Amino acid sequence: MNKLKIALENNQITLGTWMQIPHPAVIEIIAYNCNNKLDWICIDMEHGSLGIESMTNLIRTIEKYDITPIVRIPKNDYIWIHRVLDAGAKGLIIPMIKDETEARGAISEAFYPPLGRRGFGYSRANLYGANFDNYVKIANEDISIIFQIEHIDAVNNLDSILAVRGFDGTFIGPYDLSGSLGEPGNFKNKKYQNILSQYNEISKSYSIPTGIHIVRPTKTKINEAIKNKYKMIAVGTDAVLLEDKCKEIYS
């Protein structure tokens, strides 16, 4: 049962975090000390120094804490979509979706026929064949697909992207989106704020859950994201949480 998918379908707020360090101990420390408040953890295959094997071990660790394992794949590519789902990910964050064609392509590769083109095979997701029939039966309804909106082209094409069926929500990539406006990391820039408002208004008109990554988290920023009705809120990264604690102690 994909708890993230159920929560988004019911318009509930979910909290998660971003993993880039390829070691299960980091997840154990974060999951245990977040007092059962994490709904999902995203393993970052786009910018993290992870391979397929270390990603799979991180998924195993996340599952032990009854947290939904999500993976941001490196690119919208059928090989990555198939391999990550076969490893047991319960959801995918697809980076740099810019138009309807890219959105439809990602969904098609994530779904088994007749809804899509995902290939069949024994894998960890179906217990190496022992649970093959049951997994294939439920997978299309149990996988979360999240489109990352992180370029001005995506916001300009947002109506057509959100009209596509089969995905569960979208997720703002703040640094890339601001970078596409020529203001990387300048989140107070008026143009960026206007584009963000446009994203939220269009998403609201389609009743599509939205998400945002608070890279440098504070309780104030988290509460602001909740107030702005984001439903997937990523709180920091493993490296940032470690960095901030070190600075707090040794500054």
Cα 209 to Cα 180, 182, 216, 226, 233: the distances in Å are 23, 27, 22, 12, 11
- State the sign of the Cα–Cα–Cα–Cα dihedral 242, 243, 249, 250: positive
The torsion angle over the Cα atoms of residues 72, 74, 79 and 82, rounded to 10 degrees, is -10
Burial string for 49-62 (b: 16+ CB within 10 Å, else e) reads: ebeeebbbbbbebb
**Which residue in the list 23, 47, 151, 213 is annotated as catalytic?**
47
Give the E-state strand segments of 30-101 in sequence order: 40-44, 68-72, 91-94
Please classify residue 115 by burial: count the beta carbons closer than 10 Å to its beta carbon, then call 0-12 exposed, 13-18 middle and 19+ buried: middle
Tell me how far apart the alpha carbons of residues 119 and 110 are, in angstroms, rounded to a whole number: 9
Active site residue 47: yes
Tell me how far apart the alpha carbons of residues 131 and 125 are, in angstroms, rounded to a whole number: 8
Catalogue the active-site residues: 47
